[in-house]
Chains A and B, each alone.
Chain A
Amino acid sequence: MNQELQNELSRQGVVLTTIEDLYNWGRKNSLWPLQFGLACCAIEMIAASMARFDMARFGAEVFRPSPRQADLMIVSGTVTKKMAPQVVRLFNQMPEPKYVIAMGACAICGGPFRDGYNVLQGIDLYLPVDVYIPGCPPRPEALLEGLIHLQQKIARQRLTGPERPRHLEENVPGEFPVPQFGPHDLVGPRLCKTRTPDANS
């Protein structure tokens, strides 16, 4: 639809939309995060969901304790190598469409614990991260900012055509490979090919 015509009509009090926009509008305003925290960032996430910062204003307050009912994974904190397979499994068990927010320096790249022998250097090695929120830990406002960015990203998603998201493709597998415990490190395929392997392994 012509954007100019749509604007003109909305000025006259006639709202026109597409099914796609309506669908995205509904989804972006009712994100259900998975209720799990990994480290100190989780405290900020809890604060963001409480009355002072009130994530409910953006429709994302329904933290679900089961991955089957959640469509947003907020990776809040340090992902250890022991925890990484469980995190990937939880993500795999969430229904599509689903999104990942990497909250804090640890979830992005390992943060201050990056050189630790047991710390995963970023959850984006195994999960497709939509929004990165820097900080150590990020304040609740930063999480809300990240959430708003995710909402804008959802609003831009297409239902059809070549730019549609991964889960709408018929032949793309729905599950991400779960890393396995090797003798020294996690083994298994990784998403991000450009990174160098861990210095400690």
Chain B
Amino acid sequence: MNFGPFLFLAVFGMAALVFALAPLAIAWLWARVFSPRKPGAVKNAIYECGLDVQPTGWVQFKSEYYLYGIIFLIFDVETIFLLPFAVAFKGLSFAACLAMLLFILLLAEGLAWAWARGVLAWK
């Protein structure tokens, strides 16, 4: 039987397999013979460092501040746009002014919607 150059490759492949698996097998056998497995609640715990979470992260909290924060963020961003708009106001074309007006109206509509929903009243 003559496999040509492939016999050589097959031998190398087998050697590579044995080289990789032999240490794993030895480690497994060593563990079986010498070191008894002792799993435990603390050892198997996922959490390693620091203090445990007290008592849990799943809590109810009031969402009012979150709404305030979102609305503040909108107007904060609006200020950033308004300043360059005011500086360049004289040189702007009609279309640019219209676009800016649309932008401000959209935000104002958002504010009116939030106001109408009673978001701005702190309960």
B35 within 8 A of A: yes
Cα distance A86–B42 when bound, in Å? 11
B43 and A92 within 8 A (CB): yes
Bound: A170/B33 CA distance, A = 11
Contact residues of B: prevailing secondary structure: loop
Q: A170 contacts B40, CB within 8 Å?
A: no
Q: Which residue of A lies closest to B45 (CB)?
A: A93
| List of B residues within 8 angstroms of A159 by Cβ | 34
A56 CB–B CB distance under 8 Å: no
How many residues of chain B have a CB within 8 Å of chain A? 14
**Residues in A neighbouring B90, C-beta threshold 8 A:** none
On chain A, the residues within 8 Å of B39 by CB distance are: 174
Scan B35-64; emit 1 where CB is below 8 A from any A CB, else 0: 110111111010011110000000000000
Encode contact with B along A153-166: 1 for CB under 8 Å, 0 otherwise.
00000010000000
Identity of the chain A residue whose Cβ is nearest the Cβ of B34 in the assembled complex: A159
Cα A86 to Cα B39 in complex, Å, equals: 18
Question: B34 touching A168 by the CB < 8 A rule?
Answer: yes
What is the CB-to-nearest-CB distance from A132 to chain B, in angstroms, rounded to a whole number?
25
Q: Closest B-chain residue to A66, C-beta based?
A: B48
Binding site for B on A (CB under 8 A): 66-68, 86, 89-90, 92-93, 96-97, 159, 167-170, 173-175, 178
Closest 5 CB pairs of A and B: A174-B38, A175-B40, A92-B42, A170-B36, A175-B42
